[in-house]
Amino acid sequence: MDASLAPRPWRPLPVVMLLFSYMLLFGITVSTFGVLWAELMPTLRLDEADIGNAQLASPLIAIVILLAGGAIVAITGKKRLALAGLVILGGAMIVTARADGFWALIGALLLQGTAFGALEMVINSATLDWEHATGRSVMNAMHAGFSGGAVIGALVAGALLEAGWTYQDLLYAIAALSAIALLATLPIAYAPETGGDSSSPLAAFHILAVPAIAWLALIGLLGVVGETVAIGWSVIYLQQLGADVLASGAAFALFNATMFVGRLLNAPLVARWGPRVSLVVSGALLVIAGGLLLLPQPQLWIAIVAFALCGVGVAGVIPTVLSAAARVAPGQSGAITGAIMATAYLCFIIIPPLIGAIAVRYGLQLALISIGASGLALLVLVGRVAPHRAG
């Protein structure tokens, strides 16, 4: 904890509320972009392949930040890293609003990825610190905050675009929210960091060498596939099926709402039955959702239901994996966060260009096979997870 930035003794409630507010902002930002991709395509003269390639930029730089997160935190402290991430996020929104072509968009998305990597590191590792210090579990609730923010972002973005706002107006509004979050951070002291964290830039790689952690990281990656597809392509696909901007935005909000509910339900599920059962339920729901999206003669309402089921399916995977990894390697919050989240972010590199390329050649519906395939792969790997309960 940085004494110069946080002179007061830490208190659990303000810290968890602050971290939750970061998750809300994160969700609002990501879901707003989920709605805005359909607006950016014609304005910047992009096709599906361009969108898929552009979506690589943010996760690429985020992975670098996450893998080096232990060393960065050792230099800056988690609070300074959060402040830097919020400044960069606001700047990224302004640069995106002013982008006038593909390469300007790429530059803006690189800034966005830097901010996302910093905030992912801070939110998840500081939450693990909080859980260690208090003996209470809040990871599912924390990630539910992301989904709640995503519901807000999707609904508000769709409604405001329908009311005549431009996508630039929405991006400037997110920049203002980032400034508010920065001001709220200044007086708050974080929970004490767990003592086992390493400042080595290779700490995340070292912890991935633990087989149990490596399997959990791979499962986490598979759990993010459906989320990646929904964020980048659900609004575009639903509009191809005839939905207008408001309806497609509402459907994307429904996806995030089911994620929100799924994360709230996942905590008692894991506590009662353990992480393995939670992950089996997730995999099965993703298989069902993928099957619905591949039905011949697709109907709009069936696609909306499928994305809603996908939201429930992906909801619990990352929180379950993070908490399970923390039990495998207690006191390693920074290294665990870097390893698990950097692996998950690989999905944001692999899936968007793959979906874009398949969509250009064979149509977007066929590209959505990735959702069901990820569920099948998750079910195959779930036997690697210890069947113990969370306690």
pLDDT at 330: 74
Please provide the distance, in angstroms rounded to a whole number, between the alpha carbons at the two ends of the chain.
28
Please choose, from the candidates 225, 242, 229, the residue with its C-alpha nearest in 3D space to the C-alpha of residue 298: 242
List pLDDT tens digits, range 329-354.
Answer: 777 777 888 889 889 888 888 888 88
User: Would you state the structure tokens that stand for residue 243, as one six-digit string?
Assistant: 């939905």
User: Would you state the structure tokens that stand for residue 28, as one six-digit string?
Assistant: 């609002």
List pLDDT tens digits, range 106-123.
Answer: 999 999 999 999 998 899
Please choose, from the candidates 170, 177, 328, 342, the residue with its C-alpha nearest in 3D space to the C-alpha of residue 249: 170
What is the domain partition of the chain in residue ranges?
A: 12-384
Q: How far apart are CA 310 and CA 268, in angstroms?
A: 20
Burial class (CB in 10 A: 0-12, 13-18, 19+), 97: middle
Q: How far apart are CA 262 and CA 259, in angstroms?
A: 5
List pLDDT tens digits, range 48-89.
Answer: 778 777 878 888 898 888 888 777 887 888 999 999 999 999
Quote the pTM value: 0.77
- Which SS3 state, helix, strand or coil, does residue 14 take? helix
Class of the CATH domain delimited by 12-384: mainly alpha
pLDDT at 76: 86
Q: Are 214 and 149 in contact (CB under 8 A)?
A: no
pLDDT band at residue 198 under the 50/70/90 scheme: low
